[in-house]
Each structure stands twice: as structure tokens, then as C-alpha cells.
Amino acid sequence: MSLKFIRYLAVILACVFILIIFYGDKLNIAHIYNINNLNLESPVEQIPPEELTTPDLILLGAREEVKNQTRYDASYVAIDYPGGDVPESRGACTDVIIRALRNVDIDLQKLIHEDMKDNFDIYPNNWGLTEPDRNIDHRRVPNQMKFFERHGTPLPKDIEPEELRWGDIVYWKFPDGQEHTGIISDKRTSSGIPLVIHNGSVAIEEDCLYRWEIIGFYRYP
């Protein structure tokens, strides 16, 4: 290998490193690898606005997270109540659900907080709290699952993919035990598997429904 070639390679690597350092927040590698998913037809986006149903609007609310390229950030933030939200450029996986439902005027922050005030003992207590915290409770996967179990429609974990409706909510468990969530899309793969809108690092719509262990499906409202 010639010295000239080594120098040339070093310059290329240096340029790549500089791009990552200065533009890393703007790069969305996940979208590059899933570009075909973005080209799949969306039946909902063909519907006239005046004919959109609740599931349609929930889906479109979730898709705004993808368009916004919301970066994953599950940090605790003191927010307004009701209708509070973290900065729109940031959010956890659960914020995809919260913001999608707000597109149909459903305030999950208020609903979960009120339900926890009256039924605190039946909600998961994984954080050592002695009372509800309206800043964060609705942004936690176990609390969302408990709320939808009580007030939504739980669906079988082995439900056939063709029986899922866009706007349905899926919850997973990662191999490390962490829990995750997303919204079922109207776009489907060639084999009929619906894509999912979720945020694990940046909000994305992709073919990942069976990538992790499914721990729950819910339909709400």
C-alpha cells in the first residue's frame, strides 16, 4: 500500500469524522436504511381531510414525529398540566403515543394522572413513588399499559397482522429488559406486515413489528 494512498484514505476518514461531529444530530441513518418504507403508499393520506376517522388522525399524529425527526430523549422534565409536553424536537417512545392521541384531543397526561390519583395502588410502582407525578407518569411504558388495560381494548399478543388496525398501539420488551412502544402504521410490507412508528433514537416508520418480544397490543379509544 503506497504512502499516497494511505494519506488519501486518512483525508477521507477525517472528513467523515468531521461530518459526524458537526452534523450528527441532523443525520438520520435509520431513514437512509429504511428509505423503501417511506415510499410505500399510505391509504390514510389519500383520504379527504373531512373524512378522516379517529384512527386515521392518531396515525397522522404519530407520523408527524417522523416528519419532525424527533430525537429520543427520556429525560425528566417539569411540564405544564394539563396539556404539558417536552420540547417538540425531543421525546421518548411514549411521547409518540402521547402526541398521536393529542391529534384527536385526547390528553393522556391528564387521563393517566387522574386515574392514578384514584387508583395509585394498582399502577406499577417501579420508581419508589408514594404519589402520582403528573410530569412523568404518562411517559412511562408500564403506566400507559395499565391505563390502556383498564380503559382501552387489549388485543391478543398473537393477533394476526391483518387484524391490526392503524392507530393501534404495540408494546415490546428488549432483550435487556427495557420496554418500548409504537403506533401501528397503515403502510404494509409486501408480505402484509404493518410498519410501526416508534422512537428508539429518532422517530421512524419501519418494518419492526416482530423484531422484539411483544408484550401488549391495545386499541384506544
Query: Does residue 29 form part of some domain?
Result: no
71 within domain boundaries: yes
Is 25 part of any domain?
Answer: no
> Which segment of 17-21, 96-100, 196-200 scores lowest on mean pLDDT?
17-21
pLDDT at 25: 42
Model confidence pLDDT, tens digit, residues 12-50:
665 555 444 444 443 444 444 454 455 689 999 999 999
Which one has a higher pLDDT value, 61 or 2?
Answer: 61
Please provide the average confidence, as pLDDT, over all residues in the chain.
90
> Residue 26 falls within a domain, yes or no?
no
Find the domain containing 43 and state its range.
34-219
**How many whole angstroms separate alpha carbon 118 and alpha carbon 121?**
9
Residue 15 placed within a domain: no
Distance, CA of 221 to CA of 161 (rounded, Å): 20
| CATH number of the domain that residue 42 is part of | 3.90.1720.10
The mean pLDDT value for 44-58 works out to 98
- Average pLDDT score over residue span 58-65: 98
Q: Considering the domain boundaries, does residue 153 fall inside one?
A: yes
Domain-embedded: residue 142:
yes
Please check whether residue 139 lies inside any domain of the structure.
yes
Report the C-alpha gap between 181 and 72 in whole angstroms.
Answer: 13
Instruction: Report the predicted TM-score, pTM, of the whole model to 2 decimal places.
Output: 0.84
- Count how many domains the chain has: 1
